Amino acid sequence: MEQTAGNIEDSLRSVNGYIAAELAAIDREVFNFEKFPFSFMGKASRARFTLLMARALGAESRRAEKAAAAAELTHTASLLHDDCLDMARYRRGLPTLYDQVGVNSAILVGDLLIALAFECAGRAAPDLQESLVEAVKRMTKGALIEENSRGKKIPAAAAEKIVALKTGALFRWCALAACRLAEKPEMLDDCARLGEEAGSAFQLIDDVLDFEGDADACGKETLKDIKEGKFTLPLILALNDAQAGPRAEKLLASVKAGPEADLAPALDLAELVRKGGFSGTARKTAAEKLKNLFPLIDTFPHRKEAEALKDFLLALGARTA
Ligand code: FPP
Ligand code: MG
């Protein structure tokens, strides 16, 4: 039965409750989730995107909530692993699990969450498990390509591929899941593209915020990408600029990671990226990607919900945290 009505915030609360119940069911001897202050849902952008897509396409809301929970569990699992890779101390305004319980347990909790995510996807619809496997494969490929590229000046096209895989893949799955649950097979390819582009734009803004953002508002450290040797679009644009490029190269060579490292070169490089307009250009690229999706969204059957989806995408492109 089609059931799209109701408040999106109520649906998000259901997703949150669903995840909380999954975690509460884990034996405390395995991992005591209550003991560690860690947010398992963050901004819930993937859940919100799944629910909005589902409403705009006409999917049943209870199943969409399960798909949204699967997306958030997958995302959090990937962040638990990512924080180990990046040795990150803060996430969602709190110490990372890597910081609180160490690398071994953080990785294993991530493994547990990804297993819960597959289970949850299967409850939304059995075949969604298979497509989630494909999404996790893509995410992992993206993370590995990024890992292999650390410290290397990659071209913009290579950075674009990393972004499409490591983040675009999960948004792609969210859109595919919504389309599957709405039983619109003829729209699967378009939804896959929409999801991947929305996810890529989301990550581009994330990369911009690493230079422009406020650490407290973002709930995580900033200037992390340059310290970790990640060449994201704002930095690539600066390095490729005839005027700013040589100074950017010089500053980058002096950037060091670690608590004792001199922060000045990283701060100067961030200022160059901001004031030279390179982070602004990356933001515009993201905003354009999102705007280009609007003609497709205009073909979705539920008009009011489609407009809400467009508003959400506009907010993603404009976000400052
Ligand atoms: C954050 O990127 C990380 C991702 C978007 C995905 C990372 C993917 C994996 C670790 C592989 C998939 C693993 C599982 C278990 C699904 P970022 O470092 O640019 O963002 P940040 O600034 O928030 O850390
Ligand atoms: Mg990271």
Q: Check: CB of residue 260 under 8 Å from CB of residue 182.
A: no
The pLDDT of residue 208 is above 50: yes
Full set of structural domains in the chain with CATH: 2-318 (1.10.600.10)
Percent share of the chain, pLDDT over 90 = 88
Give the tens place of pLDDT for each residue, 56-103.
999 999 999 999 999 999 999 999 999 999 899 999 999 999 999 999
Q: How far is the CA of 257 from the centre of ligand 1 (A)?
A: 19
User: What is the average pLDDT score of the chain?
Assistant: 95
For position 250, what pLDDT does the model report? 96
- In 195-259 the beta strands, taken as DSSP E runs, fall at none
Q: Check: CB of residue 82 under 8 Å from CB of residue 203.
A: no
3-class DSSP state for residue 233? helix
Helix (H) or strand (E) holding 315, with range, is helix 303-318
Determine if ligand 1 sits within 6 Å of the CB of residue 82.
yes
Q: How far is the CA of 76 from the centre of ligand 1 (A)?
A: 9
First to last CA, the chain: 38
The pick from 132, 139, 144, 319 for probing ligand 1's pocket by mutation, whose C-beta has the most ligand atoms within 8 angstroms, reads 139
Per DSSP, what are the bridge partners of residue 94?
91
The pLDDT of residue 3 is above 70: no
Dihedral (Cα; 125, 129, 134, 139), 10-degree rounding = 100
Can you give the pTM of this predicted structure? 0.96
Name the DSSP letter for residue 165.
Answer: I
Give the tens place of pLDDT for each residue, 218-256.
899 899 999 999 999 999 999 999 999 999 999 999 998
The pLDDT of residue 261 is above 60: yes
